[in-house]
A and B are shown apart, each in its own frame.
Chain A
Amino acid sequence: MPIYKVSFVIVGGDYPGTIVNLSRPPEVGEKVKLGAQVYRVVEVLNLIPPRGDFHYIHATCRPLQPDEVGNLNN
């Protein structure tokens, strides 16, 4: 089963970013909750080639405006 090791980097905020293993890769446009805040994924790319079950992903996110937060699924 593939494992996605994701480096989340936030542009335009104080949040320092997160590294976490996920069961699926993040998608552009998706909302993600990192720490106490919700962010929008704006870019996803393969950081380095996969090795074994592990895929290495870099995702850039931006903070949501208060009126964008709503449901995590949209």
Chain B
Amino acid sequence: MAELNEILQNVEIFDGLEKAELDQVAQICRERKLHAGDYLTTQGEAGDELYIVTQGFVEVLLGEGTTPTRVVVNLGAGQIIGEMALLDQGPRSASVRAVDEPTIVQVINRDNFDLLCRGNYHIGYIVMRNIAADLSFKLRHRNLSEMG
């Protein structure tokens, strides 16, 4: 648990949480180990999990239907995936595939996440603000990539 707390301290969406609050977040995380080429999400499918990359890299792919055709960004340690489906409950907006061997993510289930945020409004406020900032950063990255 102590090691996981240390990892979570370096994840932007938890920046501003107290140690005891990080403990609460750690309790709803579970680790998933991926092999290179494994898919974490598939574009268009339903999803109810948020992922945090703790080791390795994943690539975010867009395509026609469920067939990925191009990589739009690579995400490494500390980055979150699946936040859109977690917030708006829509289908996955992209496919995500592990690049490194191994790639390790922490998984947070939507129901557990909602329960945590409802039970502690400070956690809810901090995490939601940080998710908004992360989405903003990704949009800035996308804009800069298209200008480049």
Contacts and interface: CB of A to CB of B under 8 A. Distances in A.
Interface of A: 3, 5, 7, 9-11, 16-21, 34-35, 47-48, 51-54, 56, 58, 60
Mostly, the A contact residues are strand
Contacts of B140: 7, 47-48, 58
Mostly, the B contact residues are mixed
Contacts of A60: 148
B141 A19 contact: yes
Interface stretch (B26-34, B68-76, B101-109, B117-125): B68-76
Contacts of A10: 148
B137 A56 contact: yes
Contacts, number: 74
B72 A16 contact: yes
Contact of B99 (A9, A17, A35, A48): A35
15 contacts: A3-B10, A7-B137, A17-B148, A19-B73, A19-B79, A20-B77, A21-B76, A35-B74, A47-B137, A47-B140, A51-B133, A53-B15, A54-B12, A58-B140, A58-B141
Contacts of A5: 12, 78, 137
A52 B79 CA distance: 17
